[in-house]
Amino acid sequence: MTRVTSGDRPVLATPRRFPEGVEVVVEWPHRYLRGTGTDERTVICVLIHGPKFDLPPLREALRRPAAYIGAMGSRRTHAGRTERLIGAGLTERELSRLRSPVGLDPGARTPEEVAVSVAAEIVVLRWGGTGVPLTTTEGAVHPPPPAP
């Protein structure tokens, strides 16, 4: 299930702006996370900019179970964010779960292309892929999934 949250600009969090089937929630993301269960299949992406907006949900996300926690931003933004998260008491172990800058590098320019790069990174991490072009690899293109 996809959820969109917005605490400071509810005018942007309207169902008409998102595809059918997306649940739109108007709430500060960190407050929403506190009341939401997560598990080893949960994907959390923080796609907002600025410490006022990205630090609270990241503090909450990095202290709970999740398969993937990513944050948008440049390397410089990530470095500053990391310093602030350490200052907020997060451990190196907690911070090691954060994927930032988010996504793989396909040379994305549009929001849709960035979304594909993030989805690709999630799939790579889930199944242990390499993210390298299949034309440069050998063996089965789609190996059998790992045994449960």
* Residue ranges per structural domain of the chain: 37-102
Higher pLDDT, 106 or 83: 83
Report the range out of 9-13, 20-24, 83-87 with the highest average pLDDT. Answer: 83-87
Residue 1 has pLDDT above 70, yes or no: no
pLDDT band at 19 (very low <50, low <70, confident <90, very high): confident
Task: State the average pLDDT over residues 123-138.
Answer: 90
Q: What is the chain's Cα-based Rg?
A: 17
Q: Which CATH superfamily is domain 37-102 in?
A: NAD(P)-binding Rossmann-like Domain (3.40.50.720)
What is the Cα–Cα distance from 18 to 128, expressed in whole angstroms? Answer: 31
Spell 107-120 as b/e; 16+ CB within 10 A means b. ebeeeeebeebbeb
> Could you tell me which residues are beta bridge partners of residue 45?
70
- H runs (alpha helix) in 18-110: 29-34, 51-61, 75-87, 92-95
Task: State the average pLDDT over residues 13-35.
Answer: 83
Task: State the average pLDDT over residues 99-108.
Answer: 92
Residue whose token pair is 């506190």: 34
